[in-house]
Structure 1
Amino acid sequence: MRISVQQAPFDLGEESQNFASGHKNMGAIVTFTGIVRDLPDDPMDAMEIEHYPGMTEKAIRAMAQDAKERFSLGDVLVIHRHGRLHPGEMIMMVGTAARHRKDALEAATFLMDYLKSRAPFWKREISGTGAAWVAATDEDEAALTRW
């Protein structure tokens, strides 16, 4: 299991290849990459993401361990960036490896739902009209109820 909270960009191809390598007993590898998206009505200059070092990694590691046990995963990868990011930049990546595709797919969705709503990150969108902290939406919260 690898959890990385980092400011630096990551190479999606390299991370995917490294994660997929060496899993001879796994029948499915699922990866998901989140990208900073622009605001629909007010173009965003940047998103600033804050966290508490140590606390954030510990919380994500606990959720990844839960996913590993719940979905019988062989491996888990979570990369999440912090700092100032711009629309179009990769913000996070989740990888899951399991013997069967259903477990790998469900575990990836479970982790993405958690990262979106419960991981201890604070996000602020900055646009030409000002800055606003991002709150979980009703849709984000509803997604958690399936787990």
Structure 2
Amino acid sequence: MSDVLRLIDVRDEPLDISEVYDAVADDAAGAVVLFVGAVRDHDSGKEVDGLEYSAHARVLPVLQALATEVSAGTPVRGVAVVHRVGDLDVGELAVVAAVSAPHRPEAFEVCRALIERLKAEVPIWKHQLFDDGTDEWVGTP
């Protein structure tokens, strides 16, 4: 992992915002952008009871490559992202990402790119469980 990539992981345990924030701490960074994604109580016009996240066995190399790509050629000092897998209840954290940079525009830009591309490209799949007994898979190939 490069000096810029400080923490890249997928876990089946609750996420810690402080761990991700601390991972990108850098004296040369005047800005840290932190994104926290939580399980919301509704989607598709239905109430959500919970989610099940699953991931492909090669998820870490894909996530690491993506983080490398979005930070390449930028003045970013640190990138960290941790995604949760397993069963999550409403309100639990699904993903925490942080980017540090000398200035806020670059930190915002890289953090947004990281999250948007993670949602679109990283092999993590969401199975939503609705209170009416129905379910929905999101992000499957």
The two structures have a TM-score, normalised by structure 1, of 0.82
- Alignment match, 2:119: 116
Whole-angstrom CA distance in 1 between matches of 2:110 and 2:20 = 18
Structure 2: gaps spanning 5 or more residues:
none
Which string of whole-angstrom CA distances, capped at 9 and with x for unpartnered residues, describes residues 75-118 of structure 1? 10001000011111110011101111111010000011012221
Quick check: 1:83 aligned with 2:86?
A: yes
Q: Does the CA contact (< 8 Å) of 2:33 and 2:107 recur in 1?
A: yes
Q: Which has the higher strand share?
A: 2
Q: Does the CA contact (< 8 Å) of 1:71 and 1:104 recur in 2?
A: no
Which string of whole-angstrom CA distances, capped at 9 and with x for unpartnered residues, describes residues 37-85 of structure 1? 12253222211111123x1111110011112214321110001000011
> What percent of counterpart residues are identical?
29
Runs of at least 4 residues off by over 2 Å? 13-16
The two structures have a TM-score, normalised by structure 2, of 0.86
- Alignment match, 1:43: 47
Number of corresponding residues: 133
Whole-angstrom CA distance in 1 between matches of 2:17 and 2:61 = 23
Instruction: Tell me how large the CA RMSD over aligned residues is.
Output: 1.7
Q: Which has the higher helix share?
A: 1
Which string of whole-angstrom CA distances, capped at 9 and with x for unpartnered residues, describes residues 9-62 of structure 1? 02223432x2354x1111211111001112253222211111123x11111100
Structure 1: gaps spanning 5 or more residues:
137-147
Q: How is 1:43-62 mapped onto 2 (pairs within 5 angstroms)?
A: 43-53=47-57, 55-62=58-65
